[in-house]
Amino acid sequence: GDVRKMVSEDNQPYILQAEDERGLSSALDGLLKNRSCREKIGCANRAKVLQLYSQQKMFAAYQQLFEEALHTR
């Protein structure tokens, strides 16, 4: 999946290439030193999950997927 699309906009700058060890170290260091930034990102991620990825929405999406699969047989 595309993690960058799953997280909040505030979190996206912290999604780095796997081989960017220096960038990851710098990003984590910045987050460790900035509690309010961590809290802001956490709240934004939670809000996005509740809006887009709730259990009810997931069940509805799977139901639609299964119904479409059954109708194309």
pLDDT in tens, 6-33: 999 999 999 999 899 999 999 999 999 9
Helix (H) or strand (E) holding 28: helix 21-33
Only one residue has tokens 């999604």, namely 15
For a pLDDT cut of 70, what percent of the chain falls above it? Answer: 97
Residue 39: how many other CB atoms lie within 10 Å: 10
pTM of the model as a whole: 0.71
| 53 in Cβ contact with 17 (< 8 Å) | no
Categorize the per-residue pLDDT at 72 as very low, low, confident or very high, splitting at 50, 70 and 90.
confident
Mean pLDDT, all residues of the chain: 92
| 13 in Cβ contact with 40 (< 8 Å) | no
